[in-house]
Chain A
């Protein structure tokens, strides 16, 4: 606990602090770029990118290993990863454009084939005597524990650069995600903007490889944006919030991993992000599950009660179980299905109100469209007393119930 506190307050040593800051910057960049990708409905493209880095990584490792004796040269590995991820991404695009296959099949085909080829290359490496082989598996699940100072610095600097690039291009990217057709009429080259977005996504994935590993970096580009979406409907706010949630997840994850020896950073960052997602999913007042379920139940009861009262007032039979229960529980209907005196009075009011609403909708169709058109709210709460008086005066005499 005490170690965690020291990590949280950046007093656990310079190296840990640097890694923490680097992970936060990276996760913020991933959250931002992920938001645009999510809005573009291509969330799992990052899955294809991340898996297709493996053959590049392995090849770079092989070349550096044969050339220098040790394959663990981060810059070279990143270049290799970016190279093969670029090819994979290009293939996903081409398959989607040129063939009848859907993007899901393109992503799945590229990610599995590239990854499989990477595995073949790894078995080649294993048969050769190249030093630092265990370092390669670190890229599958991430490892910050043994990270060199220079590596941490490189990652932090790249993440910073990416964040800046995203800030500069945020408006263009948003336009692309929001309305590509409109963007085109405004003179934007949407093809190039799309490419820019994918390149930024690729950069985030490649830089993140060392921190969270190849599979889990995908999580950082998906989970924070999805979580942010629960809190706002406004795209730019969502992007900012995703960056914030990402950074928070990075902060919690890295600091938690320093609590005990051997706790892996990547999974902890992802699980921190998932926890943030879970809170948003359940408790967001706008789109959260609890709020939605409650609202749904409330609406259902209001509609059923209203329909029941109208049916009572019009002497129509009621079949619906929930409606009957609601009426009985409120003492508006007797067990045998006959309205109580109170029920009859309330039903009469409901029918009258319904007629007022109907008249209002007919007289002022435009206004009615903009107002609460469910007609479940008492009309007195929506219209002024004067307006109701006018309506009352215009109301044709009630038809005789049949």
Chain B
């Protein structure tokens, strides 16, 4: 049972971070970050390079050790709950030359559904194929992963997360190095997930698309700068505080405009 002293928002949230701190080299790279992911939201984590965004995700998933802080999944400590979380790592963190087919990679998402003596079942294979259909990669199931383009690799990773049928999917820069068509396809899948009531949390680097893609943001630079619904938190003031002097006033003004026009070519607009 979740602790009775916890707030309602924390118990309802698929991922609540409280005071999460991670250090490297005697120095905090993530310092005392609080963030309660609203259930059913699409949230972005935003900040400059080296702001500790990926580290925060890894600490939230229990991959990296925390110096302090609590991570709760629906109010329970992270260590007791893992079925609710799916993770899509950065594409560049993988050796894509690994001898595996697309279907094998997606099958890795079914790890917890199989005991060691089982060799897979028709039902599970169908689940894997369904996720591939959802990301539009069903025709590539037997392809070696090294033969895919960057965008296709990212879709395969997404399919692997889909097959886990998790309440919360955590993505580390899903749009890094992918083409516009893939970006549009991925965002479509993510939005359909949200419409099913699932929660998404993304490290995102393209400030121009934040308003369009996400409903909540966490702005951070080692510490949390601001968090909340995009309209409230994604402000000029907060961006300035997050990025320091690295954004020009013109850039800032464009970014926080509710409907940016012609800011970036190639992205699909609704």
List the 4 closest A-B pairs by CB distance, nearest first. Answer: A317-B5, A295-B26, A365-B244, A307-B19
Are B3 and A307 touching (Cβ within 8 A)?
A: no
Are A299 and B67 touching (Cβ within 8 A)?
A: yes
Closest CB in chain A relative to B144 CB, distance in Å = 12
Question: What residue of chain A has the Cβ atom nearest to residue B3's Cβ?
Answer: A319
Interface residues of B in 81-128 (CB under 8 A from A): 97
Are A366 and B32 touching (Cβ within 8 A)?
A: no
| A373 to B19 Cα, complex, angstroms | 15
Bits for A323-366, please: 1 = Cβ < 8 Å to B, else 0. 10000000000000000000000000000000000000110011
Are B241 and A365 touching (Cβ within 8 A)?
A: yes
Bits for A296-325, please: 1 = Cβ < 8 Å to B, else 0. 100110011011000100000101101100
Whether a CB of chain B sits under 8 angstroms from the CB of A100 is yes
Are A299 and B23 touching (Cβ within 8 A)?
A: yes
| A362 to B67 Cα, complex, angstroms | 26
Q: A303-B67, A303-B68, A320-B70 are in contact. Are A374 and B241 (CB under 8 A)?
A: no
Are B245 and A365 touching (Cβ within 8 A)?
A: yes
Are A369 and B244 touching (Cβ within 8 A)?
A: yes
| A373 to B240 Cα, complex, angstroms | 16
Are A375 and B223 touching (Cβ within 8 A)?
A: yes
Closest CB in chain B relative to A101 CB, distance in Å = 10
A374 partner, pick from B6, B27, B237, B240, beta carbons under 8 A: B27
| A93 to B69 Cα, complex, angstroms | 47
Bits for A275-303, please: 1 = Cβ < 8 Å to B, else 0. 00000000000000000100110011001
Q: A365-B240, A373-B222, A373-B223 are in contact. Are A296 and B19 (CB under 8 A)?
A: no
A303 partner, pick from B5, B21, B222, B225, beta carbons under 8 A: B21
Query: Hey, which bits of chain A sit against chain B, CB under 8 A?
Result: 100, 292, 295-296, 299-300, 303-304, 306-307, 311, 317, 319-320, 322-323, 361-362, 365-366, 368-369, 373-375
B68 partner, pick from A323, A361, A362, A375, beta carbons under 8 A: A323
Whether a CB of chain A sits under 8 angstroms from the CB of B28 is yes
Whether a CB of chain A sits under 8 angstroms from the CB of B198 is no
Are A303 and B28 touching (Cβ within 8 A)?
A: yes
| A121 to B26 Cα, complex, angstroms | 54
Query: Hey, which bits of chain B sit against chain A, CB under 8 A?
Result: 3, 5-6, 19, 21, 23, 26-28, 31-32, 67-70, 97, 221-223, 225, 237, 240-245
Question: What residue of chain A has the Cβ atom nearest to residue B237's Cβ?
Answer: A362
| A175 to B32 Cα, complex, angstroms | 39
| A320 to B221 Cα, complex, angstroms | 24
Are B240 and A303 touching (Cβ within 8 A)?
A: no
| A362 to B235 Cα, complex, angstroms | 13
| A373 to B245 Cα, complex, angstroms | 16
25 chain-A/chain-B pairs, Cβ below 8 angstroms: A292-B26, A296-B67, A299-B67, A300-B23, A300-B68, A303-B23, A303-B67, A306-B32, A307-B19, A311-B19, A317-B5, A317-B6, A320-B69, A322-B68, A323-B68, A361-B223, A361-B225, A362-B241, A365-B242, A365-B244, A366-B245, A369-B221, A369-B244, A373-B31, A374-B31
Are B222 and A366 touching (Cβ within 8 A)?
A: no
Closest CB in chain A relative to B197 CB, distance in Å = 28
Are A296 and B26 touching (Cβ within 8 A)?
A: yes
Question: What residue of chain B has the Cβ atom nearest to residue A319's Cβ?
Answer: B70
B26 partner, pick from A299, A319, A362, beta carbons under 8 A: A299
Beyond known contacts A322-B68, A365-B245: 6 more, CB 8 A cutoff:
A300-B23, A300-B67, A304-B68, A319-B5, A365-B244, A373-B222
Question: What residue of chain B has the Cβ atom nearest to residue A357's Cβ?
Answer: B223
B244: which A residues are within 8 A, CB to CB? 365-366, 368-369
A322: which B residues are within 8 A, CB to CB? 68
B32: which A residues are within 8 A, CB to CB? 303, 306-307
Question: What residue of chain B has the Cβ atom nearest to residue A291's Cβ?
Answer: B26
Question: What residue of chain A has the Cβ atom nearest to residue B67's Cβ?
Answer: A300
A375: which B residues are within 8 A, CB to CB? 31, 223
Question: What residue of chain A has the Cβ atom nearest to residue B243's Cβ?
Answer: A365
A369: which B residues are within 8 A, CB to CB? 221, 244
Question: What residue of chain B has the Cβ atom nearest to residue A292's Cβ?
Answer: B26
Closest CB in chain B relative to A266 CB, distance in Å = 36
